[in-house]
Amino acid sequence: MARRITIIQGHPDPRANHFGHALAEAYAQGAEAAGHELRRIEVARLDFPLLRTKEEFEKAAPPASIREAQEAIRWADHLVILYPLWLGGMPALLKAFLEQVFRHGFAMTTEGRRWPKKLLKGKSARIVVTMGMPAFFYRWYFGAHSLKSFTRSVLGFAGIGPIRTSLIGMVEGSDARRRKWLKTMRALGLDSR
């Protein structure tokens, strides 16, 4: 069954020459070969301000680039979010983007409710995180806390699930390792669960 997939490239460098960009392209190739429809969001190429107050988050109109991103996310059945691990978490630009996109009224609402209503139910996600350290070390020693927080507090709170993750460590390692991950991403794109 064909799915609608939005790929969100969260690397803050707009030059698009990082391994995460190659991973996104491999996933897209697999998804297109399987007949899935694709949209892409390149966070580094968007122009948007930082949110600084609760009022902005809850009531200000989002800029055009954010409204377009929200539409691409609303359209999708499945989200693929890729980013490098920087200082133990996602890059600041991606975090600022998510704060803009996952606003009150888009991802969740509390109007007339005691508990928030999850507005993005029915969507699944795959999170792909690249890092210089071994992935097992991030999981074991650091407990993958930033990833857990993102999946539970942002995506899960909006109703997105199931959420699958791919942690890719030692990205500056061997070419053979990189080729293996590119092949894996193509296969994940074909499957798109």
Run means of pLDDT, 10 residues per run, the chain, 193 residues: 94 94 98 97 97 91 97 98 96 97 89 82 97 91 89 94 96 91 96 79
Confirm if 70 and 104 have CB atoms less than 8 A apart.
no
Report the pLDDT value the prediction gives residue 63, as an integer from 0 to 100: 96
User: Quick one: pLDDT at residue 43?
Assistant: 98
Q: Which residue has the tokens 């930082």?
A: 50
- Write down all domains in the chain, each with its CATH number in brackets: 4-191 (3.40.50.360)
pLDDT at 104: 84
pLDDT of res. 37: 97
pLDDT number for residue 49: 96
- Which residue, chain included where needed, has tokens 């070419």? 175
Quote the pLDDT of residue 27: 98
Note whether 168 and 181 are within 8 A (CB). yes
Degrees, nearest 5: CA angle 150-19-37: 70
Task: Please give the single-letter amino acid code of residue 13.
Answer: D
